[in-house]
Every structure is written in C-alpha cells, then in structure tokens.
Amino acid sequence: MDPLRHVKPAVRAISAYTLAEREALVKIDQNENPRDLPEALKRRVLERALARPWSRYPAFDPKELLQALGPINDDTTLPWSMFNDDVRMGFFDVFDQYILNILYDSRIRPGMTRREVQAVLPDILPSVRGWVAQINELPR
C-alpha cells in the first residue's frame, strides 16, 4: 500500500521548498547575531544559571503569563487583579478572565478606537459572561 494515497494530489504536486545557497563571509541563522555578547553579561548569565537547581523546573508564575497575554500597564487601583503589580495571587481571577476574553475576542482588532470598542462590547459581553460563569461555576 502506498502511503501517499492519503495525501491530496494538490499537495503532492507542490515542489519542495529549498533555499538557494549563497556565498557569504559569515552565515547566520535568523535567531543569530553577528556580534557576541559582552564578557561581563555572559558571566552574569552563567552565575544565575549555576545558582539555580538544574534538576527542577522553574516555578510557574501565572502573573508572567498574564502580563505576556494582557495589557502592558499595571493598574494599582485594581486590588483584586493580577494587573496590579502589588497583588500576589496564584490564579487569574474572574476580573482578569473578563479582561483577557474581551481583549482576545475576534471582534476586537488592533488599532480600534475607544468608540469602536464601545460599539461592539454589548455584543461581546454576553458570550464572555457566559464563558466566565461556566468556567468558574458561577450563577448565571
């Protein structure tokens, strides 16, 4: 049995993607840098790596993940949110779930004005409320 029979003919017809080899003094990958890091910085990195146990995963900090996904500015007026740097919760509270679900709703797009967002919020909020209530087993 030919395993290629499971591959669509249109996909089989596509030729392989290859890069043309080019001559260069130094070839670097997209994640490489032609300049090395300063010696002092390398030593600091090594010292920090050597100071940690290598046989354990680093502690998971949900705040780091939230900061990567959510708004950049912390708000000290939100005592119940991980968007406040002074708060040390180990979970995303309901408020944070609302903010992130609104922010990542497909109807919210980069570059929208405040007025544009306010116009679509009434359509977004019912589904966000329902999802947050379901996940947290809240009354609806």
Report the candidate in 68, 67, 85, 65 with the shortest Cα–Cα distance to residue 76: 85
Q: Is 112 contained in some domain? A: yes
Tell me if 120 sits within 8 A of 128, measured CB to CB.
no
CA distance 37 to 108: 40
Higher pLDDT, 92 or 10: 10
pLDDT of amino acid 36: 85
pLDDT of amino acid 95: 85
pLDDT of amino acid 73: 63
Q: Is 28 contained in some domain? A: no
pLDDT of amino acid 90: 67
Count the helix, strand and coil residues of the chain and give each as a percent rounded to the nearest 5.
45, 0, 55
Q: Which domain holds residue 85?
A: 62-135
Q: What is the pLDDT of residues 58-77, one digit of tens each?
A: 777 766 776 676 665 677 78
| The pair of three-digit structure tokens given for residue 106, joined into one six-digit string | 């497909």
Q: Is 75 contained in some domain? A: yes
Q: How far from chain centre, in Å, is Cα 117?
A: 22
Q: Is 43 contained in some domain? A: no
Q: Is 79 contained in some domain? A: yes
Number of separate domains in the chain: 1
